[in-house]
Amino acid sequence: MSEANTNQTLKLDGLFAFKEGMATVYNEQGEAIPVTVLRYEPWVVAQVKTKQNDGYEAIQLACRPKKSKNTTQAEKGHLKNAGFENGAQYVKELRQSLPEGASVGSAVSIESLAKGDIVKMTSKSKGHGFAGSVKRWNFAGGPASHGSKFHRRPGSSGNRTWPGRVMPGKKFPGHYGDETITVRNVEVVDVIPAENVLMVKGPVPGARNTLVKLVRE
């Protein structure tokens, strides 16, 4: 990454971080609190979106330099001023009112969130491949014995002559998991800037290294 305006740090209404795993911490009363540890990596402002130019206000962020062979000319041109010569692996956006001093190349501070904040958390859940309707949707299935020949099947799915088709949204076997999940009212248990670590209370959807979006509520 080339030199950018990294001496100026911004505090935003949220952050992006990567899931590490779960741990247990203890509060002042000695109570055990299950937490998910999130690893924060440096994010840089790649674009400042305004109502005049884009129709809405937002901060576009970039993280992790790409290899030159994996980058298009458009990416290089777009992220050059942010300090990424060859583009970035992650380019995300936070919709919010523009903070004072927001400019391309500014680094985002991990202290955008603080201990005790309540956040809305969004990430992608683990994928479980193809699954039947019993596992995917908790269908009851049929009798387990006595030769019913109906055990873990979806059952009837059609209609009468009208409308004569299966309605959209019908629950069927298919790809289980790998969905964008949002969890609200999650407490930030601790923020450790020296170690680039955040801790949030409870579990976080997704596997290790999943990108997690945290927005203050």
Beta strands per DSSP E along the chain: 9-10, 14-26, 32-39, 44-49, 58-65, 88-95, 107-108, 118-124, 127-131, 174-177, 180-192, 197-201, 211-216
- The whole-chain average pLDDT of the chain stands at 94
Q: What is the pLDDT of residues 108-164, one digit of tens each?
A: 999 999 999 999 999 999 999 999 999 999 999 999 999 999 999 999 998 999 999
For residue 81, the model assigns a pLDDT of 92
8 A C-beta contact, residue 82 and residue 60? no
Domains and CATH numbers, the chain: 9-126+182-216 (2.40.30.10), 130-177 (no CATH)
6, pLDDT greater than 90: no
For residue 1, the model assigns a pLDDT of 47
pTM of the model: 0.88
Q: What is the pLDDT of residues 151-199, one digit of tens each?
A: 999 999 989 999 999 999 999 999 999 999 999 999 999 999 999 999 9
